[in-house]
Amino acid sequence: MEKASYIDGHTTLYCLLGHPARHSISPRMHTTAAKLLGVNMVYLAFDIEPNEIGITVEALRLLQAGGFNLTMPFKRTVIPYLDRITKASALSGAVNTVINKDGVLIGDTTDGIGYLDSLLDSGFDYHGKKMTLLGAGGAATSIAVSAALSGVKRIDIFKRKNKTYEETEAFAERINSSTDCDVLVFPMDDSDAMQDSIASSDLLTNATNVGMEDDKTSLVPKKFLRPDLFVSDIIYHPAETTLLSYARECGCRYKNGEDMLLFQGAASFKEWTGLHMPVEAIKKLVF
């Protein structure tokens, strides 16, 4: 197939909706993959205000976009504007990928699978392991669902004790009743519980936005880490958050969110085009 290196009247639009969104490397990733595979598409990033999600979704439907991704803060708020969602999205309550099937918008979540694939790609086998998961937003719930369905034995979720805390507890109960994984929820400010959880965990995952951009804070003190703990952060900008700098200083294996972005993007690309993204080539060209 001839490589697509042009835009014409048949080019299909795909995009990312977020706030912020301009920092994303998803446009380069998807457009590069499309060129390598000869797919006539373009992928852009749109930074929209939180109250604009509904009108934006309808505009994309009207423009016959092939699909789109969602990042913070839209992974939950987009759901009422879609025609249907997959079982994984229903269980997690989050959508990061939308497929346009002849005007019918279908929401799915590829965050969790992308995250797990990135761990395996780094040589970390999560099967039968315990995870401490920070956060309960769209990415966090998707990670928890996929981890529970894929063989993680225990997940401790730490969340701010606000008005959605009970929703997270109900989410944990749904996972417990439908998988072989045990999920517990703790307040984010319960320092003793967090220290105990991390001490008995194989994997620590930050799935919040703490540490993004110019934020130099960490939800986890350095003293909670130990060399045999695998530490991951779904943030990739900056490449090394304060949490990951602590992990490096403590001798932990660690990774940021770039590979999660790559593998969740590959899963989205497959749903949109039916083609496998050339991930090794994308690693070299984009990451």
Residue with tokens 């540490």: 211
Q: Give the side-chain half-sphere CA count within 13 A for 98.
A: 35
> Token digits for 6?
């042009």
Residue with tokens 């965050």: 111
Enumerate the active-site residues.
Answer: 75
Asked if the bond preceding 50 is cis, omega within 30° of 0, the reply is no
The Cα 117–Cα 217 span in angstroms is 27
Per-residue buried b or exposed e for 172-196, using 16+ beta carbons within 10 Å of the residue's own CB? bebbeeebebebebbebeeeebbee
The Cα 286–Cα 220 span in angstroms is 30
3-class DSSP state for residue 145?
helix
